[in-house]
Structure 1
Amino acid sequence: MKEGYKRKQLMKTGLQIVFAIAWFPILWLFLSVTLGKLFAMFIGIAWLEHSLVIGLSLLLIFFAFRYLVLLSERIFGEK
């Protein structure tokens, strides 16, 4: 029984890592295209613009994790 629980926890963690690796570049590119020109107009410092885009991408990944955990709790009734 304990082996199944460990495997389940490993799969949950592994799937979250795969989710983050797969979606981070997609979000980063999307935010670069949509907000990059806006940041360039107002900020003008390239490394700061890229840092903001990366930070926003990480924040969106974090919120996506929170949403998926909340959704799985509603569907499956467990964490």
Structure 2
Amino acid sequence: MMPTPSDDSSAAAELAALVDSVEACRSRLSALAERRNAALRGENDDADSLLVSIYEAERGLSTAIRLLQRAARSAR
């Protein structure tokens, strides 16, 4: 059974909603990283493993956002 234009529109809308949700999560992670980084402002402080993990998760969410946006464009 071939997808209909209505199915594609529904998929595009769902993907757009997912993009919004993942962007909100990425914003929360970014704020958390900023707070964590501010707490490590000492001259001899290097990024701790938690901060590194937060940055990795933030990059992963950025990748997920790009992939979801690409999928949404394909569904139009």
TM-score of the superposition, structure 2-length normalised?
A: 0.46
Say which structure, 1 or 2, has more relative contact order (CA 8 Å, 6+ apart). Answer: 2
Structure with the largest fraction of helix: 1
